[in-house]
C-alpha cells in the first residue's frame, strides 16, 4: 500500500502597516497620551471611521517644542493630510507624511544601506573615490548622486546641477526620490 503525504497550506492576509505622519511643533509640555486624545476631537475628526492614532517616536526636540511621528489609521491619515495644519490646544501643528529615504552612507546611493553595499566608497564632499574624512577638496561640493544621474541624461539642457552636498535638502535626486516615495504612500492601500 502506498502512503500519500498531504501538504496543507494556510493562507493569511498579511498584517498591514499603518501610515505614519510627522506632526511638527508639538509643544514640549504636551504629553503623548494627550496628543492621541485631543487631535481627533479638536479638529472635528471624531466622525472619521475607526480613528486610530499612536505615537511612535519623537523625531527632533527643540527648546519648547518637538516633532513627533505618529501612526494613524488610513482614514484618519487622509483627513489629517487634507487639513495640512491641525489644532493642538492653543497651537497649530503642521502635518505631513513621514517619508524615510533609505540611503547608503558608503556609496551615497539610495535604496540600500552601507551594510549591504558592494560599491566603492564615495566622498560626500567631492564625489571622488575616498572617505569624506580624507577629502582634500572641501572647498567645492559635488553631489555623487546627481553626477551619476547626469550620465544617463543625454540632453544637456536637462542635466541636473551637481554643485551641492550629497546631503543637501535641495538635491534634485533626493527630492525626486522623496516624491516617488510620497506617490507610493498616496497609492498604497493600507
Is residue 79 very low, low, confident or very high in pLDDT (cuts 50, 70, 90)?
A: confident
Is residue 71 pLDDT above 90, yes or no? yes
| pLDDT for the residue 89 | 67
Q: Left (φ > 0), alpha (ψ -120 to 50) or beta: where does 111 sit?
A: left
Please list, in sequence order, all residues whose beta carbon lies within 8 angstroms of the beta carbon of residue 89, skipping any fewer than 6 positions away.
27, 30, 38, 42
Please list, in sequence order, all residues whose beta carbon lies within 8 angstroms of the beta carbon of residue 76, skipping any fewer than 6 positions away.
40, 45, 48, 51, 52, 53
Question: Nine-digit cell at 54?
Answer: 499612536
Is residue 15 pLDDT above 70, yes or no? yes
Closest by Cα among 39, 93, 26 to 66:
26
Is residue 182 very low, low, confident or very high in pLDDT (cuts 50, 70, 90)?
A: confident
Q: Say which CATH topology domain 20-97 has.
A: Alpha-Beta Plaits (3.30.70)
> Which range has the worst mean pLDDT, 25-29, 32-36, 117-121, 138-142?
32-36
In angstroms, how far is CA 46 from the centroid of its own chain? 27
Domain residue ranges of the chain, discontinuous segments joined by + = 20-97, 104-168
| 121 within 8 A of 130, measured Cβ to Cβ | yes
* Rounded Cα–Cα distance for residues 50 and 167 (Å): 39
Question: Any idea what the Cα angle at residue 48 is, between residues 42 and 54, rounded to 5°?
Answer: 70
Please list, in sequence order, all residues whose beta carbon lies within 8 angstroms of the beta carbon of residue 143, skipping any fewer than 6 positions away.
127, 162, 163, 164, 165, 166, 168, 171, 173
How long a stretch of residues is the chain? 190
Closest by Cα among 113, 119, 105, 115 to 167:
105
Please list, in sequence order, all residues whose beta carbon lies within 8 angstroms of the beta carbon of residue 184, skipping any fewer than 6 positions away.
none
Scanning the structure block, which residue is given the C-alpha cell 527648546? 63
Q: Left (φ > 0), alpha (ψ -120 to 50) or beta: where does 108 sit?
A: left
Is residue 49 pLDDT above 90, yes or no? no
Provide mean pLDDT across the span 30-52. Answer: 77
| pLDDT for the residue 59 | 87
Question: Nine-digit cell at 3?
Answer: 502512503
Is residue 17 very low, low, confident or very high in pLDDT (cuts 50, 70, 90)?
A: confident
Is residue 190 very low, low, confident or very high in pLDDT (cuts 50, 70, 90)?
A: low
Provide mean pLDDT across the span 8-29. Answer: 84
Q: pTM of the full predicted structure?
A: 0.68
Is residue 152 pLDDT above 90, yes or no? yes
| pLDDT for the residue 1 | 62
Is residue 162 very low, low, confident or very high in pLDDT (cuts 50, 70, 90)?
A: very high
Amino acid at each position: 500500500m502506498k502512503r500519500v503525504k498531504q501538504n496543507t497550506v494556510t493562507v493569511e492576509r498579511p498584517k498591514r502597516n499603518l501610515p505614519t505622519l510627522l506632526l511638527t511643533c508639538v509643544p514640549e509640555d504636551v504629553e503623548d497620551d494627550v496628543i492621541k486624545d485631543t487631535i481627533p476631537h479638536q479638529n472635528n475628526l471624531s466622525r472619521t471611521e475607526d480613528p486610530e492614532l499612536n505615537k511612535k517616536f519623537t523625531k527632533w526636540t527643540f527648546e519648547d517644542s518637538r516633532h513627533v511621528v505618529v501612526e494613524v489609521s488610513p482614514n484618519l491619515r487622509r483627513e489629517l493630510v487634507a487639513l495640512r495644519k491641525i489644532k493642538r490646544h492653543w497651537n497649530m501643528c503642521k502635518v505631513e507624511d513621514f517619508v524615510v529615504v533609505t540611503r547608503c552612507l558608503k556609496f551615497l546611493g539610495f535604496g540600500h544601506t552601507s551594510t549591504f553595499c558592494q560599491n566603492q566608497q564615495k566622498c560626500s564632499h567631492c564625489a571622488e573615490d575616498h572617505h569624506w574624512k580624507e577629502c582634500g577638496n572641501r572647498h567645492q561640493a559635488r553631489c555623487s548622486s546627481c553626477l551619476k544621474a547626469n550620465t544617463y541624461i543625454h540632453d544637456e539642457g536637462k542635466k541636473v546641477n551637481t554643485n551641492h552636498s550629497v546631503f543637501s535638502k535641495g538635491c534634485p535626486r533626493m527630492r525626486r526620490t522623496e516624491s516617488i516615495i510620497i506617490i507610493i504612500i498616496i497609492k498604497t492601500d493600507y
